[in-house]
Chains A and B, each alone.
Chain A
Amino acid sequence: MNKQINQKAWLFVLPVFILVAFNALIPLMTVVNYSVQETFGDNVFFWSGLLWFQEVLTSERFQNALIRQLIFTFSILAIEIPLGVAIALTMPRKGPWVPVCLVLMALPLLIPWNVVGAMWNIFALPDIGLLGYTLNALGFDYNFTSQPGDAWFTLILMDVWHWTSLVVLLAYAGLVSIPDAFYQAAKIDGAGSWAIFRHIQLPKMKRVLTIAVLLRFMDSFMIYTEVSVLTGGGPGNSTTLLSIDLVKIALGQFDLGPAAAMSLIYFLIILLLSWVFYTVMMRNEDQ
């Protein structure tokens, strides 16, 4: 086959290239630029090689933040994915309640992130907040501003409240796309509800769940606003996740070099883990 190559096609993709250059490539390269140099302001730069990368990777502060980040992300994944699927299974598939349920489910997703943080901050305050006050009245010693355990509990609860809906909506979309004939055949074959879930619903939800896991993984790994408003990384450093730490280094201490190096490492971790998730979950697809 002799295909004619038309160079004019480049003209049509040029706008996209320009757009991507300005919103992704150029900012990213600026960060790369900072990560290999040292600067004291005044636009004076000294070459520092991989010094910042070594420093970040060996620092205990970064390692601790990374561990906290991993614990946070895997906890919310372990709660939100099964919970989201369970809620989606109980939602009606037909009838007048469908739009009601969908709107109720979508509500948390429509609230601005900093508002979510502020809401939960007030909600959980031990002296005036509904949650904090109730827990204390019930005899629990609860104070998320001073006790790390309580801070984590509140943080995870907030994220579950905010984002489980996304999993529900995705799983629900997967569920309603299953034709009735599958359920009818399963009934005739004498399948119980577990068998129906295991052999019909779960396989049909696999694609949307993969997307749900990826989205929730990336989003939770990058979470900043809600945590910043709720706990600000405290008490102490107990809820200082990677993004919080990054902002502290970059804008608090103005260490642009280490912050840039950390950004790149952060970015590569997300890229790597997303790839691992995707490959593992799609493993069986091509067989």
Chain B
Amino acid sequence: MAQITLDKIRHSYVETPSKEEDWVLKEVDLVWEDAGAYALLGPSGCGKTTLLNIISGLLHPKQGRLLFDAEDVTDLSPDQRHIAQVFQFPVVYDTMTVYDNLAFPLRNRKVDEATVDKRVREVADFIDMGHRLDERAKGLTADGKQKISLGRGLVREDVNVIMFDEPLTVIDPHLKWQLRSKLKELHQRVKRTMIYVTHDQTEALTFADKVVVMNLGEIVQIGTPVDLFERPHHTFVGHFIGSPGMNILSCEPDSAGARFAGGTVATENRLSAGESGKRIELGVRPEFVRFTAEDGLPADIVKVSDAGRYRIVETRCGGETVKLLVGEGDEIPADGARLAFDPSNTRLYADGWLAGEGR
């Protein structure tokens, strides 16, 4: 058990990185609290697996230090760090039984057989494999194998952190949901730090207490699922999280907020002094846009798609596409539609970052 600190970690797969693009990770500073459930969320290729492999020790960072509590572990090998990792494709040792698979990490560390037996049986019950200990691991289904690789991580008592690298990729959809809630339940029982890497926002938001969103090799925002939804720090977060994502509209700054589509839009934040020269955008989630009868921004309806309990309406407004959600029973105006944005959930972004935060 430990608190994990990433101190100015940078990494590049190029031997001598010269350009900014050579860096897959651009200076990551981050503290993972002990026993937290984290998700590392980002699109493919954003550096999340690289970051994970640096924590597990499979990769050595080009720059920066990695601390477990106060101990510097940057130069330690994976088995010295006492970590566990579950990979995208399930790794089981084919020739062994389920029991031997679970016992493998302990036997490699010369733990006595009595303790091995006790731990293996405990963990097997945890992952619902108690009745299948004598089976060959080879014959298991993908979710069974994934449980075994998770079990191999849990079996050691000194594990500092358990990491999941998109563990549900090869699992059948109907089992995904089941395994995901199992992981959540497991976290509450074992009270260990868990880091869950994924590009699927549903997986991240259901599993984690705190979500770390990454893009292009840097961390864009760290927060609870609610934070990410209600107050995205970057237009990327707004767009990546939520379905459909946030509307991002270019606009002119104004004393009350912004000028957009010939009207004034009140916003929750203001630009700070240095930000007036930057690219200014307006961000508002489809959940916070509605049709209004009074004066609003004139818009043309382009498309309506039914999503069950609500409809997603796509409109053209001021030369941009604005999406909004309309409840099942609510009416969609035939023509002369006007839009209103909720002022407390409409924000200004300067060069992509939330304005007025002093970045």
- A residues sitting closer than 8 Å to B (CB atoms) are 179, 181-182, 184-185, 187-192, 195, 199-200, 203-204, 287
Contacts and interface: CB of A to CB of B under 8 A. Distances in A.
A188 B85 CA distance: 7
Nearest to A188: B78
Contact of B79 (A188, A199, A200, A203): A188
Given A190-B109, A199-B93, A184 B104 contact: no
A203 B92 CA distance: 12
Contacts of A190: 79, 105, 108-109
A203 B87 CA distance: 20
Nearest to A184: B58
Given A181-B89, A199-B93, A203-B95, A188 B108 contact: no
Contact of A185 (B85, B95, B96, B109): B85
A189 B104 contact: yes
B50 to A, nearest CB: 13
B83 interface: yes
Given A187-B78, A188-B78, A189-B152, A181 B87 contact: yes
Contacts of B85: 184-185, 188
A191 B149 CA distance: 14
Contacts of B109: 190
B259 interface: no
Given A179-B89, A181-B91, A184-B87, A195 B58 contact: no
B94 interface: yes
Given A188-B79, A190-B105, A204-B94, 11 more contacts: A181-B88, A182-B91, A184-B58, A185-B85, A185-B149, A188-B78, A188-B105, A189-B104, A191-B104, A199-B104, A203-B95
A133 to B, nearest CB: 48
Nearest to A182: B91
A235 B12 CA distance: 65
B181 interface: no
A190 B105 CA distance: 6
A189 B84 CA distance: 8
Contacts of B83: 188
A182 B152 CA distance: 13
Contact of A203 (B58, B94, B149, B152): B94
Contacts of B78: 184, 187-188
B84 A188 contact: yes
With most chain A CB atoms within 10 A of its CB, the pick from B77, B87, B89, B109 is B87
A206 to B, nearest CB: 9
B79 A187 contact: yes
B136 interface: yes
Contacts of A191: 104, 108
Interface of B: 53, 56, 58, 77-79, 83-85, 87-89, 91, 93-96, 104-105, 108-109, 136, 149, 152-153
Name the prevailing secondary structure of the A interface residues. Answer: helix
A56 B88 CA distance: 61
Contacts of B84: 188
B37 to A, nearest CB: 20
5 contacts: A181-B88, A185-B91, A187-B79, A190-B105, A199-B104
A188 B53 CA distance: 11
A282 to B, nearest CB: 14
B152 to A, nearest CB: 6
With most chain A CB atoms within 10 A of its CB, the pick from B58, B93, B153 is B93
Nearest to A200: B93
Contacts of A189: 79, 104-105, 108, 152
A109 to B, nearest CB: 30
A287 B134 CA distance: 13
A195 B89 contact: no
Nearest to B77: A187
A199 B105 contact: no
A284 to B, nearest CB: 8
With most chain B CB atoms within 10 A of its CB, the pick from A189, A195, A199 is A189
Contacts of A199: 93, 95-96, 104
A188 B152 CA distance: 10
With most chain B CB atoms within 10 A of its CB, the pick from A185, A191, A200, A204 is A185
A203 B108 CA distance: 19
A181 B105 CA distance: 16
A254 B274 CA distance: 104
A179 B104 CA distance: 19
Nearest to A202: B95
Nearest to B93: A199
Nearest to A284: B95
A175 to B, nearest CB: 15
B90 to A, nearest CB: 9
A185 to B, nearest CB: 4
B228 to A, nearest CB: 29
Contacts of B104: 189, 191, 199
A187 B96 CA distance: 17
A148 B176 CA distance: 68
Contacts of A192: 108
The 9 closest A-B pairs by CB, nearest first: A190-B79, A190-B108, A185-B91, A181-B87, A189-B105, A199-B93, A187-B78, A203-B95, A188-B78
Contacts of B153: 188
A198 to B, nearest CB: 8
A222 B192 CA distance: 62
A287 B136 contact: yes
With most chain A CB atoms within 10 A of its CB, the pick from B77, B83, B85 is B85
A4 B84 CA distance: 56
A185 B53 CA distance: 11
A225 B206 CA distance: 70
With most chain B CB atoms within 10 A of its CB, the pick from A184, A204, A287 is A184
